[in-house]
Structure 1
């Protein structure tokens, strides 16, 4: 299976410039163990320059392409969400379910427009915080990221395994060339 990795610009995500052609990623929504992160960052949607409230700005997102492979997300979140995630990392999560949506925007140089290159298709994806070596793959920075001074924002990393259901991830390689990949396998 072909893997997919998107490295996005944090500064372009927070301060969108329509003449810059860098990748932009939005963590549209996320709930971890029943704790919903707040969509408190109002950012520009690259495809139509409208404003949208999101949970965070994605710096990196990757998926190795297999049905059971995790999705890895590095995103910057607000101070309120930093506190919420820090609390989760310092307590015992009794539930590790994750519900999330994301959008990765890429520039199509032929058609001269931004398009959705990797996204959840405005549908909640259901996963579980990845556990490796007895540790949950969930971390949050205690210091603010210095690349964007305002609003204060903090780096968060999470690995998410799919729950036992067949879900769909949407991809595109241009404004018109689109396809989907399955994430997760349904129990019989």
Structure 2
């Protein structure tokens, strides 16, 4: 029985792979833009919130000081998710380049498959540095939140807030570790048979 793959000639196979290649490059550009824009925008927003905390009524101050750490944890986790997705895109682009080169019998596409940092740093240098910068910036703002919280008496006991911040800090700190241990796993394609 002929498989669908054997019905395609080399040119068709290359065209299909190039279409996926183009789509992945578009997604990769989206990931890079998301990684580049999120940190300064979000850091500015959080910093502005914390800077105005002391001008607000005490109940509002407490609410902001409770919300900011959760928002920072969300920022750190989603940044790691974007970096991991970027790593997946880079590795798949590498695979496509190699597949096209193999089908063509010559080296036509080489940027990702021969990149000097390929496979050394998950998510590449930009993804990794964005995760590290997000982690350190987040930890700094969390420490600043703790300072603001301890400055004036609050309805929430200090030990509860400190415990909350320690949990958030742990959640933020594991991001770079999780990214450094992340490896793209190629999954075998599933054979989809037509319904009879």
**Shorter-chain-normalised TM-score: which range?**
under 0.3
More helix by share: 2
TM-score (norm 2): 0.26
Which protein has greater RCO, CA pairs closer than 8 Å, 6+ apart?
2
TM-score (norm 1): 0.27
More strand by share: 1
Flag the structure with larger Rg: 2
